Amino acid sequence: MYKVCIAGIGPGALSYITPAALEAVKKADILVGGKRNLEIFQDLKKETYEFKSSMEELFLFVEKGRRTRKVCVVVSGDPGFYSLLDFFLKKLGPEALEVIPGISSFQYLFAKLAKPWKDFSLCSLHGRTTGIKEKLLKTGGVFLLTDRNNHPGVIADYLISQGLEKYIITVGENLSYPDERILSGRPHEIKQYRFSDLCVVVIEKDVMEL
């Protein structure tokens, strides 16, 4: 029985994959992951299992596979930040796992902005917009993972509805890819743009207002 390797592969571009994650990927017999994360390793011609939506099917495949082969689950960013680590930890416990850290989308975006992230609250919006206002009032700002339903436009509308028009939203779209776009503006400005499904958002006070 092999340990299951969960490797964080960063925001997406090959240049942001750590040598340790690349080595784990190369050593694996099977790569498991979402389409975007598997595509990067196409040239290695590995056997792959594309994760679509059923967590139970994913688990059964990994659990069966690891009896005879080295399985590496490739996840975006870091495995410990709103990723599959929670799921496999609950199912298998820490002894069955080898976790390789990766560069998270939040680390990448804050680095691009040359901004320290220690005073920001790091959150995910997957499924909900509640609690942002409280976090904004308590901390230096908020970083959010977004999804198709909770996209930057929804966040902008939420801030306007809460009377927080003076905050600045920065959207990091398709980070590290050739079509990367990083845009900042007040909520009413950000509302006017259309973004892809792959975005993260930073909300903070406008320094010009201080």
Binding residues vs ligand SAM (CB under 6 A):
11-12, 75-78, 81-83, 104-105, 145-147, 172, 174-176, 198-200
| Closer to ligand SAM by Cβ: residue 141 or 172 | 172
Q: Quote the least distance from Cβ 81 to ligand SAM, whole Å.
A: 4
| Closer to ligand SAM by Cβ: residue 2 or 80 | 80
Give me the count of residues in the chain.
210
**Burial class of residue 28 (count of CB atoms within 10 Å of its CB; 0-12, 13-18, 19+):** buried
Asked if 146 contacts 171 with a C-beta cutoff of 8 angstroms, the reply is no
Bridge-partner residues for 122, per DSSP? 143
- What tokens were used for 210? 């201080």
Bridge-partner residues for 170, per DSSP? 184, 202
How far is 35 from 21, CA to CA, in rounded Å?
Answer: 18
Parallel, antiparallel, or unpaired for β 30-33 and 71-75? parallel
Residue showing tokens 């901004």? 115
Cβ-closest position to ligand SAM: 77
Q: Quote the least distance from Cβ 60 to ligand SAM, whole Å.
A: 21
How far is 108 from 161, CA to CA, in rounded Å?
Answer: 30
For residue 1, give the 3-state DSSP assignment: coil
Residue showing tokens 């496999």? 88
Q: Quote the least distance from Cβ 163 to ligand SAM, whole Å.
A: 26
Q: Quote the least distance from Cβ 204 to ligand SAM, whole Å.
A: 17
Q: Quote the least distance from Cβ 102 to ligand SAM, whole Å.
A: 7
How far is 166 from 61, CA to CA, in rounded Å?
Answer: 49
| Closer to ligand SAM by Cβ: residue 83 or 170 | 83
| Closer to ligand SAM by Cβ: residue 68 or 196 | 196
Q: Quote the least distance from Cβ 33 to ligand SAM, whole Å.
A: 11
| Closer to ligand SAM by Cβ: residue 170 or 210 | 170
